[in-house]
């Protein structure tokens, strides 16, 4: 089942995609749907109403605004290896985890606003993300499978020049948490639709040019291992856990300046069996209607 948050006119609602339509669900929001019970697709089926809209006539929003975003990294050796080749400021080691800013979330087709007063090195990172199905903490790897409710595409937008300075102190949260830096979408695909998440093609394109091409089979750890490892922090239903990016980021390319994102660029982040998350980069002026503030970059 594909679960969406959409707007039609002045109304925003949660729905399930059926063919070319969105069926409205009787819940106030996506996080509330996940909190009602697990597995979420069973609850969603019970909450279907008679209201439906053509998918082509609604605006897709970010599918969910989680209580917490657990951002994990270092789970693809290929990304660590390209960082080593580029002589990056710090090694990308396994079991990196930090929280990201839910206020930075945007949805499909929403603009990524280039904060030109903060960065000159805007980068992309395609990631498979997991939606947590129920609250819990301190659980084993074997138990973790019961917490996986769905999957979503995440594009981890990063200001590399800020991150470079942050990583000198082994801390890199601000560089990834600026407004519009957390595109999610286009929908949540429930876990029953993807019984094997370790054989999914991943591809990110900028203006049609392939930048990241990989497969989730390259992940060096399993999703239950990730969920169990960080479960002492406590999950809420609807929380998001990212699984790290693959090789092909701009910062580690042969010509980073040519590959860094610029206003006007269109990013398509695609994961097999989930879909395509598409966003355009816009200038501060286009996004806010005023010139960018004076330079504040690191």
The CATH number linked to 261 is 3.90.850.10
Look at residue 298 and tell me if it is in a domain.
no
Domain boundary among the residues 13, 40, 60 is at 60
Residue 202 pLDDT: 98
DSSP 134-174: S-B-S--HHHHGGGEEEEEEEE--EEHHHHHHHHTTT--SG
CB-facing half-sphere around the CA of 125: CA atoms within 13 A: 25
Residues 98 and 153 both lie in one domain: yes
Task: Check whether residue 183 and residue 269 sit in a common domain.
Answer: yes
pTM over 0.75: yes
Q: Is residue 231 part of a domain?
A: yes
Whether the Cβ atoms of residue 64 and residue 238 lie closer than 8 Å to each other: yes
**With a cut of 70, which residues of the chain have pLDDT below it?**
169-171, 298
Same domain? For 264 and 149 the reply is: yes
Q: Which residues of 184-193 are buried (b: 16+ CB within 10 A; e: fewer)?
A: bbbbbbbbee
CATH code for the domain of 44? 2.30.30
Give the pLDDT of residue 169: 66
How many domains are there within the chain? 2
Note whether residue 297 is domain-resident. no
Residue 22 inside a domain? The answer is: yes
What's the domain range around 25? 2-60
The whole-number pLDDT of residue 92 equals 86
The pLDDT of residue 216 is 98
Q: What pLDDT, on the 0 to 100 scale, is given for residue 174?
A: 84
Q: pLDDT at position 259, please?
A: 97
Q: Tell me: do 129 and 256 sit in the same domain.
A: yes
Q: What is the pLDDT of residue 171?
A: 66
């Amino acid at each position: 089942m594909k679960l969406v948050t959409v707007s039609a006119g002045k109304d925003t609602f949660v729905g399930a995609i059926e063919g070319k339509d969105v069926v409205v669900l009787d819940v106030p929001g996506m996080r509330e749907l996940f909190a009602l019970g697990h597995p979420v697709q069973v609850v969603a089926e019970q909450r279907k109403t008679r209201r439906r809209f053509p998918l082509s006539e609604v605006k897709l929003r970010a599918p969910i605004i989680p209580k917490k975003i657990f951002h994990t990294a270092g789970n693809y050796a290929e990304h660590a290896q390209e960082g080593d080749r580029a002589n990056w400021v710090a090694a990308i080691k396994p079991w990196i985890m930090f929280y990201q800013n839910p206020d930075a979330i945007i949805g499909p087709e929403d603009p990524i606003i280039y904060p030109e007063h903060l960065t000159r090195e805007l980068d992309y990172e395609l990631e498979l993300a997991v939606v947590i199905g129920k609250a819990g903490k301190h659980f084993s790897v074997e138990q973790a499978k019961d917490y996986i409710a769905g999957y979503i595409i995440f594009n981890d937008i990063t200001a590399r020049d800020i991150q470079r300075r942050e990583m000198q102190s082994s801390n890199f949260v601000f560089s990834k948490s600026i407004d519009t830096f957390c595109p999610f979408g286009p929908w949540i695909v429930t876990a029953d639709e993807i019984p094997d998440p370790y054989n999914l093609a991943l591809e990110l394109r900028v203006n049609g040019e392939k930048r990241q091409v990989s497969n989730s089979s390259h992940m060096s750890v399993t999703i239950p291992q990730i969920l169990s490892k960080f479960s002492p922090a406590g999950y809420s239903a609807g929380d998001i856990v990212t699984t790290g990016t693959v090789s092909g980021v701009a910062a580690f390319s042969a010509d980073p300046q040519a590959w860094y994102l610029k206003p006007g660029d269109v990013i398509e982040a695609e994961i097999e069996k989930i879909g395509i998350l598409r966003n355009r980069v816009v200038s501060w002026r286009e996004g806010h209607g005023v010139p960018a503030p004076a330079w504040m970059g690191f």
